[in-house]
């Protein structure tokens, strides 16, 4: 592992072409190879887990708040393509309020579902190996998000789907959308629709969660003030130099 990190430091320095940076990186590389670095494998793994836990908790908390989806343009759930014509038609015939309510209840269901996410993310982060942590640290700006998508999408869908269904019932979405679809299907010369809203909202809720985790990951990697502990500062200093 020491040889790998030393190689990374040299390659990065050469590509940068700056003598001062070469000297700095070679110094860090020699520290790791000689065993004088204060950062152990455990330090790197612990820092990555701390950063991911902080980021996930922050973003999931935001999304579970009222309007966490509905008033966040980055993740707001809009209508599936099949229902966009429904929305347009209802507004044309003076039912804009009903159409707005239909969109709101979909987002409320997503806000409810995301409350199930934190334990699943924590489990995936806890199981992260040092190799995972090293690859994330020295990888692309979204490496942590990619790791979480790979390890949590299936269990998250399993948790989200029944919550979305229950939430759609709880907030009256089933009644709202039954009314919307009935109104639309009763209009002359339209193709009748009957979408699977539970599956659609579940997919969009997952998409929104990972989008916001990507935002937080970039913030941790680039914003020095987001590194809230000495360990985070030391470990992410390595990726700053990659």
* pLDDT higher than threshold 60 for residue 4: no
Asked if residue 168 lies in contact with residue 198, where contact means CB atoms within 8 angstroms, the answer is: yes
- Give the pLDDT confidence of 167-204 residue by residue, as tens digits: 888 767 767 777 777 777 777 766 766 667 888 899 99
What contacts 24+ positions apart, CB below 8 Å, involve 62-69? 62/212, 63/110, 63/111, 63/114, 63/208, 63/209, 63/212, 64/111, 64/112, 64/114, 64/115, 65/111, 66/111, 67/107, 67/111, 68/111, 68/114, 69/107, 69/108, 69/110, 69/111, 69/205, 69/208
> Which tokens in the block code for residue 233?
């500062």
More confident residue, 219 or 90: 219
Please compute the mean of the pLDDT values over residues 111-130 and round it to a whole number.
92
pLDDT of the residue at 62 = 95
pLDDT of the residue at 189 = 63
d(CA 32, CA 6): 7
d(CA 75, CA 70): 8
Burial grade of 93 (CB within 10 A; 0-12, 13-18, 19 or more):
exposed
pLDDT of the residue at 2 = 41
d(CA 212, CA 220): 13
pLDDT of the residue at 227 = 72
The rounded radius of gyration (Å) of the Cα atoms in the chain is 23
Burial grade of 102 (CB within 10 A; 0-12, 13-18, 19 or more):
buried
Instruction: With cut-offs at 50, 70 and 90, classify the pLDDT of residue 29.
Output: very low
pLDDT of the residue at 241 = 64
- Please count the other Cβ atoms lying within 10 Å of the Cβ belonging to residue 73: 6
More confident residue, 10 or 47: 47
Asked if residue 79 lies in contact with residue 100, where contact means CB atoms within 8 angstroms, the answer is: no
The three-class DSSP label of residue 228 is coil
Q: Mean pLDDT in the chain?
A: 78
Please compute the mean of the pLDDT values over residues 113-121 and round it to a whole number.
93
66-80, 91-105, 170-184, 194-208: which range is least confident on average? 170-184
* pLDDT higher than threshold 70 for residue 79: yes
* pLDDT higher than threshold 80 for residue 37: no
- Give the pLDDT confidence of 201-239 residue by residue, as tens digits: 999 999 999 999 999 888 888 877 777 677 777 777 777
**What's the predicted TM-score (pTM) here?**
0.72
């Amino acid at each position: 592992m020491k040889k790998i990190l030393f190689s990374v430091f040299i390659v990065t320095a050469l590509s940068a072409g700056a003598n001062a940076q070469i000297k700095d990186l070679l110094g860090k590389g020699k520290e790791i190879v000689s065993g004088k670095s204060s950062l152990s494998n455990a330090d790197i793994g612990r820092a990555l887990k701390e950063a991911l836990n902080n980021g996930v908790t922050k973003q999931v908390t935001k999304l579970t708040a009222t309007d966490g989806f509905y008033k966040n343009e980055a993740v707001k759930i809009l209508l599936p393509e099949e229902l966009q014509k429904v929305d347009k038609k209802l507004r044309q015939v003076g039912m804009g309020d009903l159409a707005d309510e239909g969109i709101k209840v979909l987002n409320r269901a997503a806000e409810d579902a995301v409350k199930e996410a934190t334990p699943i993310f924590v489990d995936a982060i806890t199981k992260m190996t040092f190799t995972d942590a090293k690859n994330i640290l020295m990888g692309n700006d979204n490496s942590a998000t990619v790791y979480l998508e790979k390890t949590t999408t299936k269990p998250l869908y399993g948790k989200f789907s029944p919550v979305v269904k229950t939430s759609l019932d709880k907030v009256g979405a089933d009644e709202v959308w039954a009314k919307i679809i009935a109104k639309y299907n009763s209009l002359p010369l339209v193709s009748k629709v009957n979408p699977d809203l539970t599956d659609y909202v579940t997919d969009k809720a997952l998409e929104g969660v990972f989008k916001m985790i990507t935002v937080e990951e970039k913030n941790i990697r680039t914003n020095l003030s987001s590194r809230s502990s000495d360990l985070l500062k030391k470990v992410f200093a390595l990726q700053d130099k990659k």
